[in-house]
A and B are shown apart, each in its own frame.
Chain A
Amino acid sequence: MSAEPVAAVTSSPRSSPWLRRSVPLLQLAVVVVVIAVLPGTMPNTFYLFSLTVGAAYLPAVLGLNLAVSGGAVSMGTSAFMLIGAYAVALSQIHWQLHPVLGIAVAVVICAAVGAVTSIPALRLGAFAIAVVTLMYADVVGAISLHFRSFTGGADGVSASAGAVTPSQMWLYVALCGLGVFILHRNLLRGPFGRALMITRRGEAVAASLAVASGRYKVAAFTIYAALSGIAGGLYQQLIGPISIETFNVGISITLLLMVVLGGVASVSGPLLGTIALTVIPMILNQTSGSGGGTRDLVYGIILLLVVLVVPKGLAGVGRGLTSSKLLGRGKGGTDAGGSSPAPIDEHLLAALLSEGRGAEGGHLDVDDVVRTIGGLQILRGVSMTVESGQIAGLIGPNGSGKTTLLNSINGLTPVDRGRVSLGGTSIDGPARTRATAGVGRTFQTAVLTEQASVLENLMVGLDARRKASHLSYALRLPSACREATERHAEAARWAAALGLGGLLGAEASSLTPRERRLLEVGRALATRPRLLLLDEPVAGLTGDEIDEIVAIVRLLRAAGISTILVEHHAELVMGLCDTVTVLDAGEVIASGRPSVVRRDPKVIAAYLGDELLALDDAPIEEVSP
Chain B
Amino acid sequence: MWDLASALLRGLQTGSIYAIVGLGLNVIFAATGVFNFAQGELVMVGAMLGVTLWAAAGLPLGLALVVVVLATAAIGALTEVFAVRRLSSQRDATLWMLSTLGVAIIIRSSATLLATRNGGQNAQRSFPNYIKAGPWHLGQLSVVPQRAVLIPIAVLLTLAVWTWFRRARWGRGLLAMAADREGAAMRGLPVGSLAVVAFALGGLIAGFGGFVGGPVTQASTEMGFTLTLSAFIAATIGGIPHLWGPLVGGAVLGIGQQLTATYLGSELQVPISLALLLVVLAVRPQGVLGREVRTL
Contacts and interface: CB of A to CB of B under 8 A. Distances in A.
Binding between chains A and B? yes
A249 B95 contact: no
A445 to B, nearest CB: 10
Contacts of B91: 201-202, 447
Contacts of B271: 138-139, 142-143
A46 interface: no
A300 B102 CA distance: 5
B49 interface: no
A9 interface: no
B106 interface: yes
B99 interface: yes
A57 B37 CA distance: 25
A294 interface: yes
B26 interface: no
Nearest to B221: A293
Given A127-B93, A138-B270, A300 B106 contact: yes
Contacts of B294: 125
Interface in A512-570: none
Contact of B278 (A132, A145, A253, A297): A132
A178 interface: no
A490 B92 CA distance: 30
B105 A120 contact: no
B274 interface: yes
A541 to B, nearest CB: 22
Interface stretch (A22-30, A304-312, A465-473): A304-312
Contacts of A256: 98
Contacts of B265: 146
B87 A307 contact: yes
Interface string A202-235: 1000000000000000000000000000000000
Given A125-B296, A304-B102, A304-B106, A73 B112 contact: no
B92 A73 contact: no
Contact of A304 (B103, B116, B277, B278): B103
A304 B83 CA distance: 7
B87 to A, nearest CB: 7
Given A146-B268, A294-B113, A303 B98 contact: yes
Q: How large is the interface on B (under 10, 10 to 19, 20 to 34, 35 or more residues)?
A: 35 or more
A73 B98 contact: yes
Contacts of A251: none
Q: How large is the interface on A (under 10, 10 to 19, 20 to 34, 35 or more residues)?
A: 35 or more
A487 B168 CA distance: 60
A459 interface: no
B289 to A, nearest CB: 16
A223 to B, nearest CB: 18
Interface in A110-128: 120-121, 123-128
Contacts of A126: 93-94, 97
Interface stretch (B11-19, B53-61, B198-206, B229-237): B229-237
Given A146-B267, A260-B98, 20 more contacts: A123-B281, A124-B281, A127-B232, A134-B225, A200-B94, A201-B92, A253-B105, A293-B109, A294-B109, A296-B105, A297-B106, A297-B110, A300-B102, A301-B106, A303-B99, A304-B103, A307-B98, A307-B99, A311-B95, A447-B91
Interface of B: 35, 37, 82-83, 86-87, 91-95, 97-99, 101-106, 108-110, 112-113, 116, 225, 228-229, 232-233, 236, 265, 267-268, 270-271, 273-274, 277-278, 281-282, 292, 294-296
11 contacts: A125-B93, A127-B35, A131-B277, A135-B270, A200-B92, A201-B92, A300-B102, A300-B106, A300-B108, A303-B101, A311-B95
Interface of A: 68, 71, 73, 120-121, 123-128, 130-132, 134-135, 138-139, 141-143, 145-146, 200-202, 249, 253, 256, 260, 264, 292-294, 296-297, 299-305, 307-308, 311, 374, 447
